[in-house]
């Protein structure tokens, strides 16, 4: 657990750790929260930052668009080698999402995947309901385009973005616990205009940052076989 740290030094530390496999042969899991920051992924478009105000914008080398990190959000960075696990990128993303889904279940919340939109979502009218979403990921013909995501009635509670270099993964996943959600109104979250962002607090779940952080860490350790 790293506590609250600025984003830029952690970003650089992740790149340094991943690039030096000789000095850092062991996988690690970093858990932290960040001071307020907007981060732009490789596909990020500056116009999706609508009003940055006094919050810095940091370009990164992860996948995805723009998101916000701030106090009250659990951010998990698994720094792992996928090759010895026999895990490909699609399976790795699935396991990150599954760790969030299991963490939410621990707090009585049902997390959902949405086809074509990485991350985890909850039903705003029934956060604990188990009914499957009509827009859940479906098997599709190889080579066919991803479906247009349907966020009707949903709020995004966790975002993810990763980078894989020579089979070694960094960046990770962020779970909203109890934070100021106003900065999400200053961006198109993950590139989607009007996408509602929620945290555990706004859907009626009282959980501390420490409780959520320890549960998410435990789930990631199980699903990624981290010692």
CATH number where 192 lies: 3.30.930.10
Residue 46 or residue 221, greater confidence? 221
- Name the residue among 107, 102, 106 with its Cα closest to residue 120: 102
Q: What confidence score (pLDDT) does residue 24 get?
A: 65
Nearest to 173 by CA among 122, 97, 59: 97
Q: Is residue 112 part of a domain?
A: no
Considering the chain, what is the average pLDDT of its residues?
Answer: 93
Residue numbers of the domain that contains 97:
3-105+156-224
Task: Please give the tally of structural domains in the chain.
Answer: 1
Decide if 15 is inside a domain: yes
Q: Mean per-residue pLDDT for 18-22?
A: 81
pTM of the model: 0.94
**Residue 192 near residue 184 (C-beta atoms within 8 A):** no
For 35-52, how does the pLDDT look when each residue is reduced to its tens digit (9 = 90+)? 999 999 998 888 999 999
**Is 48 within the bounds of a domain?**
yes
Question: Is residue 141 domain-resident?
Answer: no
Query: At residue 156, does pLDDT exceed 90?
Result: yes
pLDDT tens for each residue of 66-97:
999 999 999 999 999 999 999 999 999 999 99
Helix (H) or strand (E) run with residue 114 in it: strand 112-114
Give the residue numbers annotated as catalytic, written as ranges: 190
Kindly report the CA angle at 103 between 220 and 24, in degrees rounded to 5?
20
């Amino acid at each position: 657990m790293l506590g609250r740290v600025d984003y830029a030094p952690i970003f650089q530390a992740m790149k340094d750790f991943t690039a030096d496999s000789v000095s850092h042969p062991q996988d690690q899991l970093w858990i932290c929260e960040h001071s307020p920051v907007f981060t732009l992924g490789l596909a990020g478009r500056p116009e999706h930052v609508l009003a940055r105000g006094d919050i810095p914008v940091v370009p990164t080398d992860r996948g995805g668009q723009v998101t916000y990190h701030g106090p009250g959000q659990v951010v998990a960075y698994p720094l792992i080698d996928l090759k010895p696990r026999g895990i490909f990128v699609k399976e790795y993303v699935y396991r990150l999402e599954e760790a969030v889904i299991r963490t939410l279940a621990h707090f009585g919340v049902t997390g959902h995947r949405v086809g074509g939109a990485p991350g985890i979502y909850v039903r705003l009218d029934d956060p604990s309901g188990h009914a499957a979403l009509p827009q859940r990921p479906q098997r599709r013909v190889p080579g066919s385009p991803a479906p247009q995501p349907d966020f009707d009635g949903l709020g995004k509670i966790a975002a993810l973005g990763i980078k894989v270099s020579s089979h070694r993964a960094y960046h990770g996943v962020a779970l909203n616990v109890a934070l100021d959600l106003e900065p999400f109104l200053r961006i198109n979250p993950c590139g989607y205009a009007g996408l509602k962002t929620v945290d555990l607090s706004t859907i009626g779940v009282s959980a501390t940052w420490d409780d959520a952080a320890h549960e998410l860490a435990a789930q990631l350790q199980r699903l990624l076989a981290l010692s």
